[in-house]
Structure 1
Amino acid sequence: MASDDEQNYQLVTILLVEPNPGDTRLFTESFKDAKLKNDLYTVSDADAALDFVNQRGEYTDHPRPDFILLEPKLPGKSGIDVLTELDDEPTLREIPVVVLMSSKMGEDIVKSHGLDADHYVQKPVEPEDYIEFAQEIEGFSMALVQEESTDN
């Protein structure tokens, strides 16, 4: 029999948009090492991210993410472009987005384009900090998804 915590636990689908394969690997391994139960999908550019959230192309059979972790510096279209397209589409603007920043400047850059994400989070610098970061992201994702479900 499942515990109350397990019964109340809502599996969250997270989309990580990260162009750096090393960071993607650290995120993925950290989620596994932290024994998080969320589904983590990864893409490396804006076009793939938009295809994923729109469930088109190779992502037709993938679930729409409940939560997006977005690196703003992407090859081709930027993370700003992703935020703009999400914001312009009523069915997508409800997906919480956390912008991953290398510095405080990232938040200022996003806001200078007249956009705003749900949260801004500093990316870890050291590999050993990624597990704690993954646990922090799980807390964010659960809070944001629960907040979204109570708003609707």
Structure 2
Amino acid sequence: MDRYTPVFAIAAAAELAEMHPQTLRQYDRIGLVSPQRTRGNTRRYSLHDVEQLREVSRLSADGLSLEGIRRVLQLEDRVRELEGRVRELERALSDELLKHPERRVFAAGAAGEVITLRRGTRVRRSSEVVLWRPGERGAERSPDHPGRPE
């Protein structure tokens, strides 16, 4: 059992959240907190749902509208998803570094492509400077160095 396991009937969840059961039904109708349903179609709330109900109550007391609260909850869910994705990518990066300790995972090439390099190797970078003037085609060449841009 974890915090997402639906174990509380509406009366118990309402008591834990310090709300009236009718408020929980309304929040379910408008999609603020959506409990799971049993085969008999009764609502079952998890600890996570109760925490969200308390958050709704707190945000409402702070003056947010129900639509504002819905958006805050959506954004918080998105942040949790992205944090999970970052953890996945960090694990993948760590695994890659352990498998190939002599290589970098990636570097940016001159044209912006992703390339793999051995440790200690650097991408050769161009040091040319090009003078760009709007409305003119191509770069102007320096009179002192006809083969080089200004």
Normalised by the shorter chain, which TM-score bucket? under 0.3
The structure, 1 or 2, with the larger RCO (C-alpha pairs under 8 Å, 6+ apart) is 1
User: TM-score, normalising length from structure 2?
Assistant: 0.26
Higher strand share: 1
Q: Pick the structure with greater CA Rg.
A: 2
TM-score for the superposition, normalised by structure 1: 0.26
